[in-house]
Each structure stands twice: as structure tokens, then as C-alpha cells.
Chains A and B, each alone.
Chain A
Amino acid sequence: MEADITITVDGEQHRLVTDTRTTLLDALRDRLGVFSPKKGCDHGQCGTCTVLLDGRRATTCLALAVAHDGAHVTTSAGLAADERGQALHQAFLDHDGFQCGYCTPGQICSAAGMLDEAGAGWASAVTEDVRAEPELDEAEIRERMSGNLCRCGAYAGIVEAVREVAEHDGSRAGGEVANR
């Protein structure tokens, strides 16, 4: 079965006819040629396919394209449009938060989504006081970034990179995460 959908990717609107079995990840990669999100497992187990989907981080291999008609997708390439995205890119380069780079666009989208979540006061499994504004120390960052595997083992650099951006991103405290 096929369906007509519209998806906006990094600001650009696309109309496409999609097989209803097609995941959002495959629609992006195979149909639209948007290869920034990667396919590492296709089962929601690795995080390489992470994008911001209507403002929140999501694994696109677990989303069916047909269920996201009208959605706005931001990939790591699209994140470079704003200052924080650029800062994340630069911090990953500075701290060498990757080797092969295959998990990296997903890590960076996940970091962007995670900073918004923390800014909005969302607690994680390691947050001591769930009522307080979460402090993004290393343990919090590690916990919140653990949905994104890195087989190259660049976790130390990833945490340093995210921490640096989080420190300069303090202004976001009290922010909101998009409602989906």
C-alpha cells in the first residue's frame, strides 16, 4: 500500500509517495537521498538514525514514514543552521568525539535533543533530586547519551564535547521541549 506524505527535512519540504511499510529512516535515505541519519541496526538499538523529529530526538528506524505526514525533521546537517548546532559540531571536532563518524550525526542530534530536555527540567535515571533543575554533570550526560552506541568507543570525547556545549548553553534553562 502506498501513501502520499509531506516531510520537511532541514527546512526543505518534500512530497513523496511512500510504501506504508517504509520507515522514516528509509524514506529519508532511500527516497530523499538524505544520508545524514545512519542505519546501524534498524531496530532502535543503536541510535545512529537519531534526528530531531518535530523538535524532539527520535530514532527514525522505529518510526513509519506514513505516520509522520507533515513532520519536521532536523538532521545533524540541518543543526548547523543555528549557533548551538555549530557549537556541537565544533566541540565534537575539538574533543575528537568520534573516529569512524558513523554514529556521529546521531550522537549530535541526540545531544541537541538532550540539552533541550535537560533545559526543560526533565530528570534522568541518575538525577538525585527530580524536582530540581538537573545539573548536566558527566554522569548525567553519560546516562542521557547512552541510547547512542559508539563502537569506536569515543565516549570520553563525546562527553567532553557535550559538556562544553552544555556549559555555554545555560541560557536554555527553563526552556521547553516541543510537544508532539
Chain B
Amino acid sequence: MTRSIERVAAVGTAPERVDGRAKVAGKAPYAYEHPVERPAYAHPIQATIAAGRVRGIDTARALAVDGVHTVLTPDNAPPLRRGQDAELEILQAPDVAFRGQIIGCVVADTPEAARHAADLVAVDYERRDHDVTLASDRPDLYRPGEVSHEADTEDGDVDAALAGAAARVEAEYRTARNHNNPLEPHTTVAVWDADGLTLYDSTQGVHSLRSAVAEVFDLDESRIRVLAPYVGGGFGSKGTAHAHVVLAALAAKRMSGRPVKLALTRQQTFTLAGYRTPTVQRVALGADTDGRIDALAVDVVEQTSRVKAFAEQTALPSRTMYAAPHRRTTHRMAALDVPVTSWMRAPGVCPGMFGPEVAMDELAERCGLDPIELRLRNEPDRDPETGKPYSTRNLAECLRGGARRFGWDARPAAPRQTRQGEWWIGTGVASSTYPVHHAPGSAARIERRADGRYHVGVGAVDIGTGAWTVLGQIAADALGVDREDVVVTVGDTALPFASVAGGSSGTTNWGSAIVAAAHGFRARFGDDDPPAGSEHTESAPENPDTERFAMHAFGAQFAEVHVSADTGEIRVPRLLGVFAAGRIVNPRLARSQFLGGMTMGLSMALHEEGVMDERLGMVVNHDLAEYHVATNADVPSVEAEWIDEHDPHVNPMGTKGIGEIGIVGTAAAVANAAYHATGVRVRELPVTADRFLTA
């Protein structure tokens, strides 16, 4: 059991964001906006073929443009250390592995000159036929080495159990290629000086970015400083270093001392910032006459780039959601001539709950059970994957409480029963889960200063989560002082090491470090009025309970869907999420996290699909006019509630992480509600109007 914070006074209150006033005025500096002297501007040159190599690059016309300083190409770029992360080892070889790959860069006095000149660079390619088509029957699918845990799992005899099941669902479900699209495009400002390299970056992890850059530039980490005090969203796409960071640093190196700004265009972010692979999920569920699941199989096919393997852990949530004596999960991947797949909000878990949670809806119908009742009957008392007890699992309470709140019982059992004018009306439900991740090593520094306040430093990053605010609340309680007496600083590698803002783990890791540092500080300097200059740094200790318990957040999502009988138009007038995610540190900010996740889930359900043109090997709808994300008018009523959950095992604060649980399950709830409205079962995202027109 971890040592908890003794008092809970600031935690649980709802102060506004401490960085809020600067943000509403637009005065909080994001990466591009840090003042640097006389910056030059870099514009990437991207491959216009999807496979092959660059035979030659003619930069003469570009170099003749007024204000252009240099054009970096594979022929002249400074060398990088190779063999670690091929995504980052740019301009070291002429090979092209995907369309949009960086093959050069113009650096100029103005962004206009750089961009114009980039267009004037003539590239001669040697083309190879590209292969960008994901299909579940490809002969070259392979088993990835590792999908965060193992790629495949098997217990019992799934096929035999399915064959003998009283009720059975076997179907293929698909999720689309999704693009993170944080509204701040990925940006790096790079400055080299005698001390080394400074990066103002839109990153989710200053320390992890520093490690990646140090590796590829073969530099000591102490010679790199990364700053990211404010970041305009990330949703995973700023969680790992991408090629443009290296490009900006290379360009700045060439400019010997002059700062270089590089902001990807929105279009470039579609190929250079990672995205979520499309998935094909073959789901099989077999149950007895009471709806108890006897067999469960999830076989996933997805893609990865040839440059760097990334295995989306799509079948993971099925390993922990429902118990069954006979279980199988597998992942198979196709390596294609496509941009690098990477993290997007709730990697694996978000797409991986779509197929199974729609399949549960289908199974409920086959068993003649209410979908909530089916889920309740299959609540495991231990984690089916590890056999460990859950630290807390309150999914049942989320389902029951949500059902009451939503008015679930009023719904007719059969689909296609309710019509109001033009609209078919239905409701749907799906479960959510997301693991509690722990990453080792985060540390915090606490210093009493002459202003009488406690200054807390941790190299965390606030990408919109509220870290600036909630870390201060945690520190106040851990120190036993008022929130006003605490000043938090984040977003700088000059501060103690912090893990990346990803996997909903920020508060767990950084908060644990702050609590440890506060306890250490008090042990050293006493409880009352330590002198100015008292300072203590400490790392979060390991939490032995992570070995003893399975730790996950849970939730239930409810959707009301209207489908036009005339046009197939689909609207979602009502979304409700009820979550069990441990202690909520700041209800005002937590609500935004939950609602934000659900809104992105709604967006995934209705709109989001990067459309691959197989002839060109590129996503053609690579901007915000054609890759639709949910707008204000798409979200009439979205509400989030949470249950008062006390989990003494997860960490000293009792928090489980709330950045991702909100997006998990939304799409399934919407698809299930659309079925209930129309009787048309959609097993493929996004759920668009055309799917209902034959109905």
C-alpha cells in the first residue's frame, strides 16, 4: 500500500486553471511563440512518391530565391547517429518509404520565401510500385514481437466452445484511420549555441524528447534543453519525437547560431505526426442460454509503416473486460509503404473496444437480454488476464447509475420502434475501460523561497489536461498548506525528470513524485515554517501494489441517436458518460477531460476517416475541411458524471487517470444506438449516412 496524502483539502476542490487567464487572452506562449532573436524559417520538402528513392535533387532555383540560406538534402545534410529510430534518422539516405517523407528542407529569412523555394526544388525519383492497402487476407501478415504485453494469448479451446455455444456472434468490425489533429500544429524552434541545443517544442514530454534528440545527434543529454510550458493539445501525436524535430535541429545547426522555427502545416501533420492505424477486428463471442460468455476471440489485423514498426494494442481491452474460460486474442500486422503509425488517444484500447462492445450488443439481442443486463452478468470478480484482484472495478455501478440517469428503462427492447417525423430514434450503451499506467522515475523538487511560498518543479507537460493546476492542488495537500502558497512550474528539462504526458498517467506519476518530495521535505525541515532556501528533491517510489492488483478505470457510455429516414443523416442529441476513475482532483477540469474524450469519441463515430488514395499512396482528405472533426453543432448535449471511488492502491492520491477513458466506448455506444434506432447494424466506422439508405 502506498503512503497516501494525509489531508484532502485542496484535492477535490474546483479552482479555475492557473494558466487560464494567460490562455484566454492568448498570452501563454506555445512553441512557435517564444521570443528568439532574428529567427530563420524552415519549410520541409516532402516526397511525392510513396516508394522508391531520390535519384537527384536540383536546388538551384530554390537557392536563387531572395532570402534563402540553404536547402538541406540527403546529399548535404549533417550526419546523424543511425540504427536506433529510423523515423528520426532523416536525410541520411535517398530511400523513400512513404509519400510525404521528409527529403529536404529550405531555410530562409521569411516563411514565405522558404515555402516558395521548397516548391522550386526539382526532385528526380526512381519509383518502385507502392503497396498501401490493408486487407485481412494479405499473405504477408506477421505477428508483432510485442504489443505492450504479448501479441497473442490463448486459454482453453475457443473454436470448440464457439461451436457448442447456445448463442453466438461472429463478425468483422472495422475502425478507420484516424488523425490526431491537435489544433496547435507540431512545431519546433531550435537554437544551437556554445552550450548546446535549446528546443522550444510542442511536445508531451520534454525529457523523453530530449533523450530521443540526444540519441540521434549523439549528444550528451546535459547539452540539450527542451521547453514546453504550453502545448496546444497532442492526443498522443506529440508523445514521441517525430522527424520534424530533428529537421529543425539540423537546420539550426546549419544556420550556426541563428534560431530556426519550423511549424508543420496542417497538411504535413497528416504524414509526419503519426496517426491511428485502421483496424480490422474479427470478434467471436459464444454464450450459454443465460448470456454467460463461454468463448471470446478477438483477432486483429492492422498496419504499420516500413520505417518503424508500431503495434497498436487493439485486443488488449478484451483481455480484461469479460471473463470466459475459452479466450483468444491475436494481432497481425501488414508492413506497408505508409507514414509511421503511432499513438492516438487511448492507443489500442479506443479502437479495440469498438468491435467487442458492438458484438456485445449483438449477443444481448441473440440472448434476449438487455445489453446492460448482459454486461452485468459477465462482470468478472478478478482480472481475467492476470488472475489478480482489481484494485477497484466499479463498472457495474457506472452501468446501473448511468441507466437511471439516462432513462434507459424506457427504451423498447426491439430495434426500429420509435419514429418522430423524419427521424428514427434509438439508444445505445457501451462499456469503457482504460488501464492505470505507472512509469518509473518521475521526480519533483520543492523549495521554500523568500516569498514564503513553496515552489514545486517537475518536468511535466500540460497539454490541456490541467497539470499546471492539479499538481498544485496535490502539492498543497501533501505539504499541508493552502493552494495559494504553492507555485508550480512544469515544461522544462531544467526541472526534475518527468515521464511523458501520455497513457493517462501524468497525475499518477508526477503526483506521486510530488507527494514523495513533500513528505521528504517535511521530514527534513519540519512541519512549520522552514527557512527560505530549504529545498528537497525526491523521486516517486515504486508502488508494490501494482504487482498485487489489476488497476483499471471503467465507465459506461450512453448515446441517443436520431437517423433520418429520408437521408440517413445521423445526429447524436444526447451523450452521457459515467466513470469510475478513482479520486477526482479537480471536478471542473475533470469534467472537461471526460467531455473532451467523449466528444472526440463522437467525432470518431460520425466523421473521422483518413481516406487513402491507393493510386497515389496518400491520404487525400488531409486538412480540416475534408477530414472532419466534431464541431460545436455536432454536440448538442454531452454530460459526464463520476462515482465517488476510493482506491487506496493505485497511488498516494487515489487517482486513476482520466485523459483517455472518455474516448473509449463512445463510438460503440453510438453505433449500438444507431442500430436500435434503425435496425441497421453498422460494424464499420465512421457511421455515415450512406449506411442507412438501403434501410
Q: CB within 8 Å of B: which residues of A? A: 19, 21-22, 26, 29-30, 33, 35-43, 45-46, 48, 75-77, 80, 88-89, 92-94, 96, 98-105, 108, 138-139, 141-143, 145-146, 148-159
Is B183's CB under 8 angstroms from A103's CB? yes
A159 CA / B231 CA spacing, docked (Å): 23
Is B632's CB under 8 angstroms from A96's CB? no
Report if B318 contacts A (CB, 8 A). Answer: no
Is A96's CB under 8 angstroms from B599's CB? no
Is A153's CB under 8 angstroms from B26's CB? no
Please, which residues of chain B bring their CB within 8 A of the CB of A102?
Answer: 30, 182-184, 232-233
Q: Which of these, A39, A101, A138, contacts B185 with CB under 8 Å?
A: A39
Q: A42-B266, A76-B25, A77-B25 are in contact. Are A100 and B183 (CB under 8 A)?
A: yes
Instruction: Indicate with 1 or 0, residue by residue over B385-407, a CB within 8 angstroms of chain A CB atoms.
Output: 00000000000000000000000
Is B26's CB under 8 angstroms from A38's CB? yes
Please, which residues of chain B bring their CB within 8 A of the CB of A145?
Answer: 632
Report if B119 contacts A (CB, 8 A). Answer: no
Which chain A residue shows the least CB distance to B627? A45
Is B595's CB under 8 angstroms from A153's CB? yes
Report if B592 contacts A (CB, 8 A). Answer: yes
Q: Which of these, B25, B32, B589, contacts A89 with CB under 8 Å?
A: B25
Which chain B residue shows the least CB distance to A147? B631
Which chain B residue shows the least CB distance to A154? B592
Which chain A residue shows the least CB distance to B587? A96
Please, which residues of chain B bring their CB within 8 A of the CB of A33?
Answer: 35
Q: A80-B25, A151-B600 are in contact. Are A100 and B182 (CB under 8 A)?
A: yes
Q: 8 Å CB contacts to A: which residues of B32-47?
A: 32-33, 35, 41
Is A40's CB under 8 angstroms from B185's CB? yes
Please, which residues of chain A bring their CB within 8 A of the CB of B593?
Answer: 99
Nearest 3 pairs between A and B by C-beta? A36-B26, A153-B599, A102-B232
Q: A39-B185, A45-B624, A80-B25 are in contact. Are A100 and B233 (CB under 8 A)?
A: yes
A53 CA / B438 CA spacing, docked (Å): 48
Report if B265 contacts A (CB, 8 A). Answer: yes
> In the complex, which of the residues B41, B181, B182, B596 has the most CB atoms of chain A within 10 Å of its own CB atom?
B596
Report if B466 contacts A (CB, 8 A). Answer: yes
Is B24's CB under 8 angstroms from A101's CB? yes
Is A38's CB under 8 angstroms from B24's CB? no
A-B contact pairs, 12 of them (CB 8 A): A39-B32, A75-B26, A76-B24, A94-B16, A100-B182, A100-B232, A102-B184, A142-B635, A149-B624, A152-B464, A152-B592, A156-B639
Instruction: Indicate with 1 or 0, residue by residue over B300-320, a CB within 8 angstroms of chain A CB atoms.
Output: 000000000000000000000
Which chain B residue shows the least CB distance to A33? B35
Q: CB within 8 Å of A: which residues of B? A: 16-17, 19-30, 32-33, 35, 41, 110-112, 116, 181-185, 230-233, 235, 263, 265-266, 463-466, 588-589, 591-593, 595-600, 603, 623-625, 629-633, 635-636, 638-639
Given contacts A88-B24, A98-B20, A102-B30, 8 further A-B contacts (CB under 8 A): A35-B29, A76-B25, A99-B596, A103-B183, A105-B24, A105-B26, A142-B632, A156-B638
Is B464's CB under 8 angstroms from A99's CB? yes
> In the complex, which of the residues B233, B266, B465, B629 has the most CB atoms of chain A within 10 Å of its own CB atom?
B233
Is B635's CB under 8 angstroms from A151's CB? no
A105 CA / B20 CA spacing, docked (Å): 11
Is A151's CB under 8 angstroms from B24's CB? no
Is B589's CB under 8 angstroms from A46's CB? no
Please, which residues of chain A bring their CB within 8 A of the CB of B111?
Answer: 26, 30
Q: Which of these, B184, B598, B630, B639, contacts A38 with CB under 8 Å?
A: B184
A77 CA / B29 CA spacing, docked (Å): 13
- Shortest CB-to-CB span from A100 to chain B, Å, is 3
Is B112's CB under 8 angstroms from A21's CB? yes
- Shortest CB-to-CB span from A74 to chain B, Å, is 12
Tally the A-B contacts, defined by beta carbons under 8 Å.
182
Is A146's CB under 8 angstroms from B633's CB? yes
Is A139's CB under 8 angstroms from B636's CB? yes
Q: A96-B589, A146-B633 are in contact. Are A40 and B24 (CB under 8 A)?
A: no
A151 CA / B26 CA spacing, docked (Å): 17
Is B635's CB under 8 angstroms from A155's CB? yes
> In the complex, which of the residues B26, B591, B603 has the most CB atoms of chain A within 10 Å of its own CB atom?
B26
Is A154's CB under 8 angstroms from B27's CB? no
Q: A153-B600, A154-B595 are in contact. Are A104 and B636 (CB under 8 A)?
A: no
- Shortest CB-to-CB span from A25 to chain B, Å, is 11
Is B633's CB under 8 angstroms from A99's CB? no
A156 CA / B591 CA spacing, docked (Å): 10
Q: A94-B16, A99-B596 are in contact. Are A22 and B112 (CB under 8 A)?
A: yes
- Shortest CB-to-CB span from B266 to chain A, Å, is 4
A146 CA / B629 CA spacing, docked (Å): 11
> In the complex, which of the residues A26, A42, A94 has the most CB atoms of chain B within 10 Å of its own CB atom?
A42
A150 CA / B602 CA spacing, docked (Å): 13
> In the complex, which of the residues A33, A101, A143 has the most CB atoms of chain B within 10 Å of its own CB atom?
A101
- Shortest CB-to-CB span from A83 to chain B, Å, is 15
Is A151's CB under 8 angstroms from B110's CB? no
A145 CA / B33 CA spacing, docked (Å): 26
> In the complex, which of the residues B23, B231, B629 has the most CB atoms of chain A within 10 Å of its own CB atom?
B23
- Shortest CB-to-CB span from B483 to chain A, Å, is 16
Which chain B residue shows the least CB distance to A80? B25
Is B631's CB under 8 angstroms from A146's CB? yes
A89 CA / B263 CA spacing, docked (Å): 28
Please, which residues of chain B bring their CB within 8 A of the CB of A148?
Answer: 632
Q: A35-B33, A96-B591, A102-B183 are in contact. Are A143 and B633 (CB under 8 A)?
A: yes
Q: A45-B623, A45-B625, A77-B27 are in contact. Are A151 and B633 (CB under 8 A)?
A: no
Is A43's CB under 8 angstroms from B623's CB? yes
A123 CA / B624 CA spacing, docked (Å): 26
- Shortest CB-to-CB span from A2 to chain B, Å, is 11
> In the complex, which of the residues A108, A141, A143, A146 has the most CB atoms of chain B within 10 Å of its own CB atom?
A146
A78 CA / B265 CA spacing, docked (Å): 27
Q: A43-B266, A153-B596, A156-B638 are in contact. Are A98 and B24 (CB under 8 A)?
A: yes
Is A153's CB under 8 angstroms from B598's CB? yes
Which chain B residue shows the least CB distance to A51? B26
A139 CA / B633 CA spacing, docked (Å): 7
